[in-house]
Amino acid sequence: MMMVFVSVLASSADEVNIPSVLWEDGVITQDQGESEDMASSWDENGSPNFPYKAYDGDMETKWCTQAEEVSWLMIDFVEPRLVNKFVLYMAGNTTHGGDLGKWTYNFVEFQIQSSMTGKENSWEDEVVVQDNLPDEEHGILTYEIDPKSMQWVRLYITNQGVDTHARLPEFEVWGSLTASVSPRDKLAITWASVKSGS
């Protein structure tokens, strides 16, 4: 397993909701936020439920997929960030689409994964959930991890709940905007980019 050496430790003083801040500052661009490459799908239904609506800081919007067996959402932080917590707000927390209080829309099985490159076979599980319940108590889920440097995050959902649509008002990823990685890992990131032609 690739080891990442982090020299910046997140503290309560400098913790931020990373994707929300990067979206607000324009680091995560609209091109990324609406890209077909960043989510398995989204529901067009009037106003498109684009991927960025899961991290725009607005609980009255949501990312929502078309019917599908597996749903996923990716976020590219553009450069490595130090992460120590994930928070998922299930559909029952928003009035969007009449979802308020519909806890049967809670995801049942999913993983939160990290990567330095976003390439296939580079994802590492940070959180694995196989039995989330369809009730209000499980409508806001918080997972703390040891601080870890990552550039990409993926929410990978294998059981969406009552149907085959994934609905997510907000996906928070907390930590520090700055993180340093070892020279070895920087080389691995560069090599992966060269191999992919990007």
Question: Is residue 36 in some structural domain?
Answer: yes
Spell out the residues 6+ positions from residue 65 whose beta carbon is closer than 8 angstroms to its own. Answer: 39, 40, 41, 42, 43, 49, 71, 160, 165, 166, 167
Q: Is 163 inside a domain boundary?
A: yes
Does 3 reside within a domain? no
> Is 5 a member of any domain?
no
Residue 187: pLDDT above 70?
no
**Per-residue pLDDT tens digits for 8-21:** 333 445 799 999 99
Report the percentage of the chain scoring pLDDT > 70: 83
Q: Which of 83, 84, 38 is nearest to 49 (CA)?
A: 38
> Each residue of 82-138: pLDDT tens digit?
999 999 999 999 999 899 999 999 999 999 999 999 999 999 999 999 999 999 999
Residue 133 within a domain: yes
94 domain residue, yes or no: yes
- % helix, strand, coil for the chain, step of 5: 20, 35, 45
Query: How many domains does one find in the chain?
Result: 1
Token readout for 115 is 């990567």
Domain assignment of residue 100, given as a range: 16-196
Question: Using one digit for the tens of pLDDT, what is the confidence trace for 12-53?
Answer: 457 999 999 999 999 999 999 999 999 999 998 767 999 999
CATH code (residue 26): 2.60.120.260
Residue whose C-alpha is closest to residue 168's, from 109, 82, 69, 99:
99
The answer to whether position 2 is within a domain reads: no
- CA gap 37, 40 in Å, rounded: 8
